[in-house]
């Protein structure tokens, strides 16, 4: 952008050829038109954008759960951005354009709360039953923690619970997501403090199969 003092014709405003004139805070200026041509993205950029879009689409229906499970990451980045970084780095596998999710590596929560001693999952009628056990000391100190439950699978809309069950219940249920027979439904468990930002690491409980 160029600056000039007024000549016999004074400053000008508008466009002449590829030059734009105007005034800002009493200063007359001229600048050339910006180059509006857009460069074609490189192959690497296309691959990166497709991978990023795949991760964003995967996490979109999980936002409410992620905001709880990654809330203690807020001092470094937002919960959603922290989860997105995790999915991009560890969870997405495959080559462009055929990506897939490694469900065993997915973490829905990260934190330092005490983890359960044991846990399991099974199908009962049209529900998925989650159960876990804790020591008496853990239940005394953390029994009011909320249980974070998730059931998700390829092509299925995820089922989740954030504050319906407490740790002291030592069990919880989710409605079985509808889908084709033989589809694997992957299940996860974590705990979150009722009011503080602390959560536990999540546990991958394995999968159940739709019949």
The number of domains in the chain is 2
First to last CA, the chain: 68
163 and 99 together in one domain = yes
Tokens coding 157: 């809309």
147 and 202 together in one domain = yes
Question: Helix, strand or coil for residue 59?
Answer: helix
12 and 63 together in one domain = no
24 and 105 together in one domain = no
25 and 50 together in one domain = no
172 and 72 together in one domain = yes
Cα 79 to its chain centre, rounded Å, is: 7
201 and 100 together in one domain = yes
Strands 203-209 and 184-192: antiparallel
Cα 123 to its chain centre, rounded Å, is: 27
Q: Is residue 105 included in any domain, yes or no?
A: yes
67 and 171 together in one domain = yes
Tell me which residue has tokens 């989860």: 83
24 and 58 together in one domain = no
Q: Is residue 38 included in any domain, yes or no?
A: no
Q: Is residue 59 included in any domain, yes or no?
A: yes
| H/E run at residue 50 | helix 43-59
Q: Is residue 37 included in any domain, yes or no?
A: no
Q: Assign residue 149 the CATH number of its domain.
A: 2.60.40.10
22 and 54 together in one domain = no
56 and 27 together in one domain = no
β partners of residue 174: 128
Q: 13 lies in which domain range? A: 2-32
Instruction: Specify the pLDDT at position 10.
Output: 56
Instruction: Specify the pLDDT at position 172.
Output: 98
80 and 9 together in one domain = no
Reading the chain (211 residues) residue by residue, the pLDDT tens digits are 444 455 545 555 666 666 777 766 566 666 666 665 668 889 999 999 999 999 999 999 999 999 999 998 756 679 999 999 999 999 999 999 999 999 999 999 999 999 999 999 999 999 999 999 999 999 999 999 999 999 999 999 999 999 999 999 999 999 999 999 999 999 999 999 988 889 999 999 999 999 9
Q: What are phi and psi of 130, to 5 degrees?
A: -100, 140
Q: Is residue 48 included in any domain, yes or no?
A: yes
Report whether 144 contacts 168 (CB < 8 A): yes
pLDDT digits (tens, 9 = 90+) for 106-143: 999 999 999 999 999 999 999 999 999 999 999 999 99
Q: Is residue 88 included in any domain, yes or no?
A: yes
């Amino acid at each position: 952008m160029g600056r000039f003092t007024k000549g016999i014709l004074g400053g000008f405003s508008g466009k002449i050829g590829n030059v734009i004139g105007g005034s800002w805070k009493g200063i007359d200026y001229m600048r050339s038109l910006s180059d509006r041509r857009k460069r074609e993205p490189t192959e690497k950029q296309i691959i990166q954008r497709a991978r990023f879009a795949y991760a964003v689409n995967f996490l979109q229906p999980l936002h409410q759960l992620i905001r709880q499970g990654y809330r203690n990451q807020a001092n470094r980045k937002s919960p959603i951005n922290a989860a997105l970084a995790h999915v991009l780095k560890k969870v997405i596998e495959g080559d462009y354009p055929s990506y897939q999710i490694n469900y065993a590596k997915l973490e829905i929560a990260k934190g330092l709360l005490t983890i359960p001693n044991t846990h399991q999952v099974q199908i009962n009628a049209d529900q998925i039953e989650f159960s876990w056990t804790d020591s008496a000391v853990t239940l005394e100190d953390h029994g009011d923690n909320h249980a974070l439950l998730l059931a998700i699978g390829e092509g299925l809309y995820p089922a989740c619970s954030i504050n319906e069950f407490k740790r002291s219940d030592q069990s919880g249920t989710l409605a079985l997501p509808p889908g084709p027979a033989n589809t694997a439904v992957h299940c996860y468990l974590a705990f979150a403090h009722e009011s503080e930002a602390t959560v536990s690491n999540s546990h991958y409980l394995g999968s159940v199969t739709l019949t």
